[in-house]
């Protein structure tokens, strides 16, 4: 598991989860189509993303990025980042593509795929 994620007291669990989804909502608002905060939005995000995934995606760039870039954002090794990125790509939370720069990822919502 990535450092700092999933390690919290039970009394703080609800607040931490809400923060993870709130940070993801803020990130989604940076996209042209936006995602205004609402209880419905939080319910959708909770269905699509685990708390850990929401926290991680909220830290990623909006434009295409590599596993190396994600590793830097998350402060983990590149291999660990690649594994997590692949898991999220398999769930269609991220799009992955081969480019002349190697494998790159982009949040699905930047192409209107999530919403």
Q: Is residue 3 part of a domain?
A: no
Asked if residues 54 and 69 have their Cβ atoms less than 8 Å apart, the reply is: no
Q: What is the mean pLDDT of residues 4-24?
A: 56
pLDDT of residue 37 exceeding 60 = yes
For 86, the 3-state DSSP assignment is helix
pLDDT of residue 21 exceeding 80 = yes
pLDDT of residue 7 exceeding 60 = no
Q: Is residue 91 part of a domain?
A: yes
Q: Is residue 41 part of a domain?
A: yes
Q: 63-107, pLDDT tens digit by residue?
A: 999 999 999 999 999 999 999 999 999 999 999 999 998 999 998
pLDDT of residue 26 exceeding 90 = no
The confidence score (pLDDT) of residue 84 equals 97
For residue 104, the domain's CATH number is 1.10.10.10
The confidence score (pLDDT) of residue 32 equals 63
The confidence score (pLDDT) of residue 3 equals 47
What is the model's pTM? 0.72
Q: Is residue 25 part of a domain?
A: yes
The confidence score (pLDDT) of residue 89 equals 96
Find tokens 């700092």 and name the residue. 4
End-to-end Cα distance, the chain: 28
Residue 71: give the domain boundaries: 10-111
Domains: count for the chain: 1
């Amino acid at each position: 598991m990535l450092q700092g994620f999933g390690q919290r007291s039970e009394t703080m669990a609800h607040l931490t989860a809400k923060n993870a989804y709130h940070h993801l909502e803020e990130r989604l608002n940076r996209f042209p189509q936006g995602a205004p905060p609402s209880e419905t939005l939080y319910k959708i995000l909770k269905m699509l993303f685990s708390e850990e995934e929401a926290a991680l995606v909220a830290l990623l760039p909006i434009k295409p990025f590599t596993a190396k870039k994600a590793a830097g954002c998350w402060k983990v090794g590149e291999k660990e980042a690649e594994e997590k990125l692949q898991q999220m790509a398999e769930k269609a939370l991220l799009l992955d593509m081969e480019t002349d720069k190697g494998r790159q990822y982009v949040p699905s919502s930047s192409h209107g795929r999530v919403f």
